[in-house]
Structure 1
């Protein structure tokens, strides 16, 4: 090899830096501005047309909303209230806990008192089914669901008043099996919740947008999963998920296995990030990444390209290193690297701008962007190891979902960050 040729290591770093910059550009372009993300579809027809399905109406079909609860989260009452103020005329709210001592019970009693005319049912059931305690709770709650459409939504989700109309509408099409929603995060309480919100708004959500734009439909998010009761029965009910780590993803995957479609609703719901300390946030986010690894190990291995800041720094260093020589090959590679690094930096700033609620938020959180990306890279390394995750104080084995993924077939690499929403 000629002395002026690039080494294998330089080629690898150059390729990875260029790839990371291109991904950052795709992510920035795929994301709408924060203001547009907060707009919920004003009619079911809008929600369906965005996904190229005919217009249907499910306004007069009953909906049972299942919300598994565990503990009194900081904004639990406010979030639950949004589900009580729906325009949909015929819905039931089932709120479930697995312990008679759960602090969430008092919040539910307060909600029932505030909305005495609403169909709000509290399910207190200590029976345990399988290793996934959230699914165990859902199995107990499902016995109380009375309507033909089932909507599962996590406890920390807030919605607007046409949410049920919009997410139920596509289910009137018999080709649609499940409807799911992306979400926007807000930090509640201080510094580390703000860092955690950036994980969702500037890494997770953009990865889903990019994959969806590329044609992927291999996703399902605990923020919202809406399906017909008959479809849930066909996949074996929640019992089919009782030992799954990524239960939201696998519910949708089981429905897709029936030949039915997944619709990503245009409805964007809101979620809270409440982890007050670095250790709590680290545990939650490494759990998300191990969950992704459990669903698609190969795709997990390629997530390194989605963390821009480390690669921007690598690109800048590589540019300086290559430009220090006068060889034409090195100069050309330096120019390529400098161009891609500049594009990547502009794209990362654009993504942060489009995710910011307003100008003040943009400038306040701008110094957190390098920290956020570097932390993601470290969590990715940590997520590559470990056989269990901790969820709500319970240890859940990673291998269960790994074996299920092996039986369920491969996904596209771009689908990997969609495999779990990490709730």
Structure 2
């Protein structure tokens, strides 16, 4: 019994050490976030005409407000909006029709097409929209994204250099539908975004996000068009990988767009977070496993229990909480409005840790109410 308790205590101190490492990681990510947001941006004089593709599925919370931020852009060149749905009964159609009545001068078209290409529903929707594209620069952006009025100007400036083949944007979270969505938004702002900041700061990652993927036409053709990603779960990551494989850069300008967290139930939240984490596990298994250290508060708390509530372990837990709150403050001041209150941070951190552990097992994801299996190469298949 004594030997067993000794092993438990050693394990507890390992967790304490991991928690303190997580606190150091949080402070490092906070520093990288402030440095990223403070970078200078260049400008351009000649702005290209652009086509913005918006794949839609249902009238999700805040959809109308999100789409309107794109229609309200301050952009000096032609801008076309292509909205797409895959069912004539899709509730998003009414949303688009209301928006176009308020913006009669907008160059916009709605594509309704049931055709299914591959297993990725978003890419299938985008492929159905290809025939409506009229401009060389194409911007793909998810339906749950909101932007500032100068968004297109900044994207065009970032895409202008010859060496740049695509532009993507980091994003923060904001709650669109109550407590569950607030927890989801906090996961985006205080777990996902800091990990991105750390990865970029350490030059250990080269991401590409569905929040924004702006592509030059020639580059889109060189990577095989959208059809090349019809069966990929992490389509955004794979598009970025393909662009870089052709010798181009994927630029990330120093600002964040806003992701609307729309989950209203616990099951909806869990399925979304599991899809997200299993996507990360698929595209970067080593990085996903290594992200264990980012769960500072739960690790320190486990250490506190296993060490028999040792005073040093209490100090470690307090340190991790303080570090995570400092990170939240830095993210909020660098990128905009808070995703949630300070007091909810420990709760969110524990939930994130539980999802992380769950994501280590199984390969199924739920997407638009379809249950799909993820292969080792990131390909989707029905089940």
- TM-score normalised by L of structure 2: 0.88
Q: 1:194 aligns with which of 182, 185, 197?
A: 182
Cα distance in 1 between the residues matched to 2:196 and 2:321? 21
Cα distance in 1 between the residues matched to 2:275 and 2:140? 21
Alignment match, 1:237: 225
State the shift of 1:259 in Å: 1.3
Paired residues of 2:184 and 2:261 also in contact (CA < 8 A): yes
Alignment match, 1:346: 322
Alignment match, 2:346: 370
1:227 aligns with 2:215: yes
State the shift of 1:254 in Å: 0.7
The alignment of Structure 1 onto Structure 2 pairs a total of residues equal to 371
Cα distance in 1 between the residues matched to 2:16 and 2:61? 46
State the shift of 1:170 in Å: 2.1
State the shift of 1:271 in Å: 1.8
State the shift of 1:350 in Å: 0.8
Paired residues of 1:167 and 1:267 also in contact (CA < 8 A): no
State the shift of 1:18 in Å: 3.0
| Residue deviations 1:325-355 (CA, integer Å, cap 9, x gap) | xxxxxxxxx5xx7776554332111123334
Paired residues of 1:31 and 1:351 also in contact (CA < 8 A): no
Alignment match, 2:65: 78
State the shift of 1:217 in Å: 4.6
> Any idea what SS the aligned residue of 2:174 has?
strand
Paired residues of 2:182 and 2:339 also in contact (CA < 8 A): no
**Which stretch of the first structure deviates more once superposed, 180-189 or 13-22?**
13-22
1:382 aligns with 2:382: no
1:148 aligns with 2:148: no
Cα distance in 1 between the residues matched to 2:114 and 2:275? 25
Q: 1:20 aligns with which of 5, 19, 22?
A: 22
State the shift of 1:387 in Å: 2.1
Alignment of 1:184-333 (within 5 A): 184-316=172-304
Query: Using a 3 Å threshold, how does the CA distance of structure 1 residues 367 and 402 change in structure 2: closer, same or farther?
Result: same
| Residue deviations 1:347-384 (CA, integer Å, cap 9, x gap) | 11112333458xxx979723321211111111111111
**Which stretch of the first structure deviates more once superposed, 303-312 or 247-256?**
303-312
Paired residues of 2:13 and 2:307 also in contact (CA < 8 A): no
Q: 1:168 aligns with which of 124, 136, 156?
A: 156
| Residue deviations 1:144-180 (CA, integer Å, cap 9, x gap) | 1111111111111111111111112122211112111
Cα distance in 2 between the residues matched to 1:190 and 1:154? 21
Cα distance in 2 between the residues matched to 1:103 and 1:400? 35
> Any idea what SS the aligned residue of 1:291 has?
helix
State the shift of 1:267 in Å: 2.8
Instruction: Give structure 2 stretches of 5+ with no counterpart.
Output: none
State the shift of 1:99 in Å: 0.8
> Any idea what SS the aligned residue of 2:203 has?
coil
Instruction: Give structure 1 stretches of 5+ with no counterpart.
Output: 49-54, 324-333, 405-423
Paired residues of 2:54 and 2:82 also in contact (CA < 8 A): yes
Alignment match, 1:394: 370
Cα distance in 2 between the residues matched to 1:245 and 1:99? 22
> Any idea what SS the aligned residue of 2:123 has?
helix
Alignment match, 2:49: 62
Cα distance in 2 between the residues matched to 1:338 and 1:371? 18
Cα distance in 2 between the residues matched to 1:110 and 1:352? 37
Q: CA RMSD in A?
A: 2.8
> Any idea what SS the aligned residue of 1:215 has?
coil
Alignment match, 2:41: 47
Cα distance in 2 between the residues matched to 1:127 and 1:307? 42
Paired residues of 1:97 and 1:137 also in contact (CA < 8 A): yes
Cα distance in 2 between the residues matched to 1:193 and 1:307? 21
Query: Using a 3 Å threshold, how does the CA distance of structure 1 residues 125 and 346 change in structure 2: closer, same or farther?
Result: same
Cα distance in 1 between the residues matched to 2:69 and 2:137? 19
State the shift of 1:287 in Å: 1.0
Paired residues of 1:17 and 1:314 also in contact (CA < 8 A): no
Cα distance in 1 between the residues matched to 2:106 and 2:78? 10
> Any idea what SS the aligned residue of 1:239 has?
helix
> Any idea what SS the aligned residue of 2:117 has?
coil
State the shift of 1:301 in Å: 1.5
